[in-house]
Amino acid sequence: MYVTIPDQDAISTPLPPLSGTLPKTTETRLKPGNFLYFEGDEVAWLYQVTSGVVRLSRLLADGRRQVIAFGYPGDIIGFPKDGLHHTDCESLTAARLQPFRRSHLENGEGDPQLHHALLQAALREISAMQDHFMMLGRKSATEKLASFLCVLMERVGEDLGAYRQFTLPMSRSDIADFLGLTTETVSRTFTQLRKSKVIAIDNNHTIIVQKPTALVSLSLGDRD
Amino acid sequence: MYVTIPDQDAISTPLPPLSGTLPKTTETRLKPGNFLYFEGDEVAWLYQVTSGVVRLSRLLADGRRQVIAFGYPGDIIGFPKDGLHHTDCESLTAARLQPFRRSHLENGEGDPQLHHALLQAALREISAMQDHFMMLGRKSATEKLASFLCVLMERVGEDLGAYRQFTLPMSRSDIADFLGLTTETVSRTFTQLRKSKVIAIDNNHTIIVQKPTALVSLSLGDRD
DNA sequence: CGATAGCTTGAGAGTACTCAAAGTGGGTGG
DNA sequence: CCACCCACTTTGAGTACTCTCAAGCTATCG
């Protein structure tokens, strides 16, 4: 599943590696800024992110952009629509990905277990995206950013005593385009969370959550 | 695919009936206001809408609601997540639905063709929902409502000379919760479209599109 | 014909946006 | 190694849009 915004009690465990029983295809490696594919490309492979973080996004004709999801280790990316990719995929960090032939998804030939796992990943993605709808449609800027940080805290945060810490490989404008906000609003909201001591920011890309409970409350829309 | 908001050039044809080669399960019938399932229910069946319109929605703890999609004839609904339904499904009209065992999706036993068709439907839904992201995250009230009306115009509109006409089986607040707006804003935006003679409204539930081209322009965010 | 739910309209407030400018930090070349 | 540069981020001021709260209207159904 992608990093999208689940309901409070729906924290899903990331998919374990789909090692499979097949002869392994050799891993794909990406450098920061490299694209794995573009919208409209023929889908030959699906990928499970092994390490690193990738960004899936789409462009509107007038230049507006929507970041659809960030792919973290365990996530499956590249589900086709009519055989084509419907997003761009760019790596935000050095990344490694395990490819799976599209045919393993579309006709289970050879490895029914893999087929089933890929199908389940697709179904999870549908559900995850529905969670994300909630957020884009119904939440304030503070709730959106808090929700986003909560997911990362749960998923990739490291314990630091009572605090939790993680890095943000994406830019402020990536976050803005993911949450349906402007970079200015994202920045202001970060400042506000920092000033209220819910989080501390190091380096602009390292977040230390000082009040995890407060962050969760904010994400759910409780007043302050 | 659901009634979601595709990009301009991505108007997909609705899925044809999946008659299948199997002994047919008897059709399910719903009256207006009847629920087909609730969030959290075990998924035993998927359904293809044969006639009528259903509404898929989710509730937040604090009562905020998000309408995820409207299911029109041809659409497949009920994709499970961990075996459970992740939305409520209520019928907005009298409706008929063709059930398919969940096992036909999850393990193709018996009917590989049906399995494949259901999988494709799931993949289409992922893509359709990504289109919808764009809308929730990046569009103004006018663009949202115009986009919504455009989709219905294309999908269920009837020709009326130069005009196109269709009915809205859902309430203003259903539309609001689908587009991430309030009912007041939806109502005001309808009024505005009516006053600018892009549409005419009869009965509050019958829309006559008087300027289809203008409606498309509005949906894409062109200035007036 | 009256009750009621749904819809529309109005006034005012608040949030996020736009446009603009200043600050910050990482990377490169001198 | 330091200084400069550029991209990214933050901050500020003002605006616009959508929301909230409230009241009136309209259709539908009993």
* Span B30-64, pLDDT tens digits: 999 999 999 999 999 999 999 999 999 998 878 88
- Find out whether B54 and B30 touch, Cβ atoms under 8 Å: yes
Residues B123, A127: C-beta atoms closer than 8 Å:
no
Q: Nearest CA to B106 among B57, B43, B169? A: B43
Which of B172 and B16 is assigned the larger pLDDT? Answer: B172
| Position B111 confidence tier, pLDDT thresholds 50, 70, 90 | confident
Which residue in B53, B57, B69, B219 sits closest to B139, CA to CA?
A: B219
Asked if A108 and A53 count as a contact pair (C-beta separation under 8 A), the reply is: no
Tell me the three state secondary structure of residue A58.
Answer: strand
Question: Given strand A95-101, what is the order of strands in its sheet?
Answer: A28-30, A95-101, A45-51, A76-77
Q: Which residue has the tokens 């009024």?
A: B191
| pLDDT at residue B210, as a whole number | 97
Check residue B26 and give its pLDDT. 87
Q: Do residues B62 and B11 make contact, with C-beta atoms less than 8 angstroms apart?
A: no
pLDDT confidence bin for A218, thresholds 50/70/90: very high
What is residue A11's predicted lDDT score, i.e. its pLDDT? 41
Q: Which residues of B touch A (CB under 8 A)?
A: 7-8, 12, 58, 60-62, 64, 66, 68, 79-82, 86-87, 105-108, 112, 116, 119, 122-127, 129-130, 132-134, 136-138, 177, 179-180, 220-221
The more confidently predicted of residues A155 and B17 is A155
Contact pairs from chain A to chain B, CB under 8 Å: 109
Q: What is the pLDDT of residues A16-66, one digit of tens each?
A: 776 655 556 789 999 999 999 999 999 999 999 999 999 999 988 778 899
Q: Which of A8, A127, A137 sits opposite B180 (nearest CB)?
A: A137
Quick check: pTM over 0.95? no
For A115-135, what is each residue's pLDDT tens digit?
Answer: 999 999 999 999 999 989 988
The average pLDDT across A144-160 equals 95
Residue B138: nearest nucleotide (C-alpha to C1'): C17
CA-to-CA distance for A76 and B149, rounded, in angstroms? Answer: 34
* List of long-range contacts for B104-107, beta carbons under 8 Å, 24+ apart: B104/B46, B105/A119, B105/B46, B105/B79, B106/A116, B106/A119, B107/A112, B107/A116
- Give me the residues paired with residue B67 across strands: B57
Q: How confident is the model at residue A141 (pLDDT cuts 50, 70, 90)?
A: very high
Cα gap A25→A47, rounded to integer Å: 11
Q: What is the mean pLDDT of chain B?
A: 89
pLDDT number for residue B11:
41
